[in-house]
A and B are shown apart, each in its own frame.
Chain A
Amino acid sequence: MGSTNSTLSKIPNAGDLMQETGFSPAHIVRLYDRYKALDKDKKGHLCPQDFGAIKELAMNPISDRIIGAFFSSGQEVLDFPSFVRILAHFRPVDKNRPKDPNSPEHINSRSNKLKFIFQLYDQDKDGKISRQELLQVLRTMLEKQVTEEQLESIADRTIQEADLDRDDAISFDEFRKNSLWCPSRSIKCRATD
């Protein structure tokens, strides 16, 4: 890959971004190239259509939600730092980073990763996954031939198993407790040079 340093200087606030997200310079440059490539019309920012144009994404059942997660709080434009911050959630957990108890958690801490995913479920941002929201998610992730009743039963059972305080919704804590999965995998920018 060409001159990382010169490209790095073109990226505004690259240093802060690296500090905040923990990406290496090469990663930031790579992401910047990608950002620019996605921004077809050279607007300088991304909008949902740019994500929609990614073909592989259309083969993902929850693609719309994921796109929505990038454009949180109703904005329609996505600038580079926000783009990088969201992708930073998926970096591997840094085991070696010194833990400063007073500083906010790193962006790719396990808790933040789970929070990001929680937000995909919880569309109305009330901090709980209601039965309705769960139904919607299940609907997208299950094959067409699952009937409505089956869906509802699955949703009911799911909430039953996970809900500890019996409020018929899954809060973030309950969600976290039920996630044994350790997000040890991360996305890898597979540039090969």
Chain B
Amino acid sequence: MAPYSQLSFLLTVLLIFGALCVTSKVQIQSSSERQSASSNTGSTGESTSNSSASITTVPIVTWKWHHVETPYLVALWILVCWLCKLMAQLNSKLKSFFPESALLIISGFILGGIVWGADKAQTFKLVPRNFFYFLLPQIILDTGYFMPNKLFFSNLGAILVHAVIGTCWNAAAVGISLWGCYLGGAMGNLQIGLLQFLLFGSLLAAVDPVAVIAVFEEVHVNEVLFIWVFGESLLNDGVTVVLYNVFDAFVSLGGEKINAGEIIKGIVSFFVVAFGGSLIGVVFAILISLLTKYTGKVQIIEAGFIFVLGYLSYLTAEMLSLSAILSVTFCGVCCQKYVNANMDEKSVTAVRYAMKVFANGSETMIFVFLGVTAIDTDIWVWNTGFILLTLLFVLVYRFMGVFFLTWILNRYRLVPIELIDQIVMSFGGLRGAVAYGLAASLDETRIKEKNLMITTTLIVVYFTVILQGLTMKPLVKWLKVKRVSPTELKLIEKVNNRAFEHILAAMEDISGRIGDNWWTRGWKRFEDTYITWFLMKPEARKNRDYLFSIFHKLNLEDAINYVTEAEKRGSLAFLNQTDGTIVNFEKKLRFSGVMPDIMSELDFGNNNVQPTSDTVPSVSLNIHEHEMKRMNEDFNAHHLLQQHLYRSRKNHRHKYSRSNFSINQSEDEVQEIFQRTMRSRLESFKSAKMGVTPAKKITKHPKKDPNHKMSNGKTTDKSKKHPYGDEDFEFSEADSAYSGDGPRRFKLTLSVAGVENPAFIVAPSQGAQRYLPWSPRNLHRLAPLRISDRSTDSFLMADAPATEESSEESPQQPSQRDGTHM
């Protein structure tokens, strides 16, 4: 699809659109005349036709523009913005060079130019009201909902330091320096005072979440850095709102009335605004979670509740003049876990996709409108000194603030933040639409230089988004230039490198990447006992054990595969053949979306274990003969290695992303690794116990535990010739009652049947052999996996859920056949 055809298409649309604007203006004027005429004549109610004059004949078709004008324009603008985004994505060369946000702003310039050319006035500005009430909330809800909680909360201290102290510093420094320069005469004559400078400083101080995400998405930085900048951009809204309102009030009061009392009130208002906003968010999160607990019957629309309640939390906070962004953020942050657990799978997916659509759509529109708004002669006031000095101060003080605060924070950190990261952090302090919105909401009667401020804000926004966005990626690359340029590595080196990465990732996991201290565990305990009882559906609570459900899925999958294969071949005797047929289960198994999104930073969103008929996998079996024996000599081992080595966790760690939401290939990889590990553990355990060549694929016949309606979709019909070991999978519950006063305790016990029908011992097929454990000597004693029972996801999740009470184990022991447990 040539970009040119798209371009011409877009231009056509724009031309039509421009013409429409012109005609709409004409229509507006004429219809308003007529409407006033009609109201004068007293006909109220319907304004059906264009004229109040009586019609002379039955109209077949009438032109009803003024009926649909507003929604039509809105829809048309949305369409045009999204088309711009489409165009921006089309040209891949351009895309790798320019950040998408910059391209959107430029498209906005073009569109603005067209509209201005048609109307000689900018009819479509970014009105602050529309921005704050219709475009911003969904973006923030999206960030809150997808926030990596563990990372966020463990870095909360640093984030708050930057958000609060950093923003205050920025505001004060910029304001005072500008005032100083003004006094020094660098700006000529302006009707402006210190307070107004401070007000201006405060609206420019805040790092903008929309812009930060847009740029950082394209630049991959390490997760601590990312969460710092990201978290700061969200939490500084609390400060910005306070500063803006306080200085606005000061400006209204006038300089004389400001005394200590007022200043103290200002400080108090900070706490009220910030905590109040967050509290509202938490309240709404509780509401959402409670609601989803009971919406099982209306699964079809339960996804919608999140959006409505999220939006209400924003508006409520706004109504109470508290920080609306904080409210929505915390609403999303707090409700994610419970909502994901309570809602049906499909609803969860629906919510996620819908959020991404709204957020992405809004972001696109914001950037385009930022561009459109610029093309307006009314607001442009040029004052070289003011503008250039502002730019300079904004940049410089950002750097200074970040470096200073990080220096302080580093003294309390085990791992200091490096210089490179600090530079990236400073450079990533982008201003965006929020600043513009605040500037546009200034009261021009009190603030005479409003237009100058708007101009300056726009220029700062463009500078940061376009220029800094452009240079971010090259800067990062340049700063990290210390990498050794690799010569062609030998195979062993490639393998080693990958092995090293895996080892490092494992060591990080073992040593606990995120602090695991008393506070964390205490919270987890509290949460498990009280909060999940209150906010989660009973079924969801039961099924929280992630590992267990994975295990179960694994075995179902095996069973289904074998049975399907048997159906194809008539019987399961195919497993007897060892003449080199390779049974290669290429699984595009989706578990019908039941498999949780592992990659979401270990926030194991839960799934109800429902192996219904939905879980019929699409198994494709490739059975090919041993022609591979005859491989040609120049077999490309290097290429194969490159392609097929598993990537380590660093390479596919979760990144919050607004534009990418997909179950990507790395998830499949992780699932594969996970399954293999589980399998090998099961089988090494089995081989240790049986002392027999582990010739069987293992499955489980879940005991029909009377307490649990664990429907298993697979058959336990023993008449089929299953070459399976009899492993009974017991699932017992220590606390029988759902009283909720004791923690849920699930235990997986895996016991091995003593007797095995020798007829079922078969030699493994080639493919099955691959899975057999290589069992290094010291590993067969890796006693079976102890799967613990705690909730797998929480705000502050330690790596391995804690099971403080182990006394349950002993009473269970006598009931095991072999005395071995998992």
Asked if B379 is an interface residue, CB under 8 A from chain A, the answer is no
B822 to chain A, nearest CB (A): 9
Given A87-B511, A123-B777, A149-B629, is A55 in contact with B644 using a C-beta cutoff of 8 Å? no
Would you call A141 and B493 a contact (CB within 8 A)? no
Which of B684, B770, B800 contacts A53, CB < 8 Å? B800
* A37: chain B residues within 8 A (beta carbon): 512, 516, 521, 798, 800, 802
Interface string of B516-530 (1 = CB under 8 A from A): 110001000000000
Q: Let me know if A93 is at the binding interface, CB within 8 A.
A: no
A22 to B190, CA, bound (A): 62
Contact B803 A48 (CB under 8 A): no
Known: A62-B499, A90-B504. A27 touches B677 (CB 8 A): no
| Residues A56 and B644 in contact, CB atoms below 8 Å apart | no
Chain A residues in 8 Å Cβ range of B500: 117, 181, 183
A37-68 toward B: CB 8 Å interface, digit per residue (1/0)? Answer: 11011000001111111111111111111111
Count of A-B contacts judged by CB separation below 8 Å: 255
Which of A12-20, A102-110, A152-160 lines the interface with chain B?
A152-160
Nearest opposing residue in chain A for B779, CB measure? A68
User: How does the 8 Å CB contact mask read for A58-102 relative to B, with 1 for contact and 0 for none?
Assistant: 111111111110011010100000000001001000000000000
Q: Which of B503, B521, B669 contacts A143 (CB 8 A)?
A: B669
List the A side residues contacting B509 at CB < 8 Å: 54, 56-57, 60
Cβ contact of A49, chosen from B154, B224, B629, B783, cutoff 8 A: B783
CA distance A144 to B637 in the complex (A): 16
Judge whether B495 and A55 touch: CB under 8 Å.
no
A6: chain B residues within 8 A (beta carbon): none
Q: How far is the CA of A57 from the CA of B540 in the complex (A)?
A: 25
**CB nearest to A113 among chain B residues:** B500
A63 touches B506 (CB 8 A): yes
Is residue B478 within 8 Å, beta carbon to beta carbon, of the partner chain? no
B676:A144 contact, CB within 8 angstroms: yes
For residues 493 through 511 of chain B, which have their beta carbon under 8 Å from a beta carbon of chain A? Answer: 493, 495-500, 502-511
Chain B residues lying within 8 Å of A138, measured Cβ to Cβ, are 495
Contacts of A48 in B (CB 8 A): 781-783
Q: Most A CB atoms within 10 A — which of B496, B505, B628, B785?
A: B496
Within 8 A of A (CB), among B425-471: none
Pick from A123, A157, A185, A193: contact of B637, CB below 8 A.
Answer: A157
The binding surface of chain A is classed by DSSP as helix
Please pick, from A90, A142, A146, the residue contacting B507 in the complex, using a CB distance under 8 A: A90
User: Cβ of A162 and Cβ of B492 under 8 Å apart?
Assistant: yes
Which listed residue, A148, A188, A191, touches B770 by the CB 8 Å rule? Answer: A148
Chain A residue nearest to B776 (CB atoms) is A123
A162 to chain B, nearest CB (A): 4
The answer to whether A54 touches B770, judged by C-beta atoms less than 8 angstroms apart, is: no
Contact A190:B766 (CB < 8 A) given known A68-B782, A162-B492: no
0/1 per residue, A157-193, Cβ < 8 Å to B?
1100110000000100001001111110101111111
Contact A56 B640 (CB under 8 A): no
Interface status of B308 (Cβ within 8 A of chain A): no
Q: How far, in angstroms, from A161 to B681 measured CA to CA in the complex? A: 33
B774 x A139 contact (CB < 8 A)? yes
Decide: B799 and A193 in contact? CB cutoff 8 A: no
Report chain B residues within 8 Å CB of A162.
490-492
Neighbouring A residues of B781 by C-beta, 8 Å: 48, 74, 76
Q: Check A158 against B779 for contact (C-beta < 8 Å).
A: no
Other-chain contact of B672, A64, A87, A144 (Cβ < 8 Å): A144
When chains A and B are docked, how far (Å) is the Cα of A59 from the Cα of B586?
20
B476 at the interface (CB under 8 A from A): no
CB distance from B159 to the nearest CB of A (A): 10
Judged by a CB distance under 8 angstroms, whether A5 is at the interface is no
User: In the complex, are the beta carbons of B602 and A56 less than 8 A apart?
Assistant: yes
Picked from B513, B676, B786, the residue with its CB within 8 Å of the CB of A140 is B676
A: interface residue count bin: 35 or more
A80 to chain B, nearest CB (A): 13
Interface size on B, residues (CB 8 A): 93
Answer yes or no: A3 CB below 8 A from chain B CBs. no
A193 close to B157 (CB less than 8 A): yes
Residue B755 at the A interface, CB < 8 A? no
Which residue of the partner chain A has the closest CB to B520?
A: A37
Interface code A108-131, partner B: CB below 8 Å = 1, 0 otherwise?
A: 000000000100110110000000
- Interchain nearest-CB distance for B407 vs A (Å): 16
- Whether A61 contacts B646 by the Cβ 8 Å rule is yes
CB distance from A43 to the nearest CB of B (A): 9
Chain A residue with Cβ nearest B643: A143
Interface-located stretch among B260-268, B356-364, B408-416, B605-613: B408-416
A26 close to chain B: CB less than 8 A: yes
Asked if A8 lies at the interface with its beta carbon under 8 angstroms from chain B, I say no
Report chain A residues within 8 Å CB of B628. 147, 149-150
CB–CB B511/A34 < 8 A: yes
Residue B5 lies at the interface, judged by CB distance under 8 Å to chain A: no
Contact A40 B511 (CB under 8 A): no
Report whether B776 and A68 are in contact in the complex, using a CB–CB cutoff of 8 Å. yes
CB contact under 8 A between A59 and B670, given known A30-B515, A193-B412: yes
Chain B CB within 10 Å, residue with most, of A57, A149, A161, A188? A188
B97: CB under 8 A from chain A?
A: no
Decide if B547 is an interface residue (CB 8 Å cutoff): yes
Q: CB distance A178 to B490 under 8 Å? A: yes
- Assembled-state Cα–Cα distance A181/B497 (Å): 7
Which of B154, B505, B582, B806 makes the CB contact (< 8 A) with A41?
Answer: B806
17 pairs from A and B in contact (CB 8 Å cutoff): A26-B414, A31-B511, A49-B785, A49-B786, A51-B510, A55-B792, A60-B673, A72-B778, A123-B776, A124-B776, A142-B641, A157-B491, A158-B492, A187-B508, A192-B515, A193-B157, A193-B413
Closest 7 CB pairs of A and B: A191-B515, A123-B776, A49-B786, A157-B637, A188-B415, A158-B491, A162-B492
Interface residues of B (CB under 8 A from A): 154-155, 157-158, 224, 412-415, 484, 489-493, 495-500, 502-517, 521, 546-547, 582, 584, 586, 598, 602, 628-629, 631, 635, 637, 640-641, 644-646, 648-649, 669-670, 672-674, 676-678, 680-681, 684, 766, 769-770, 774, 776-779, 781-788, 792, 798-804, 806
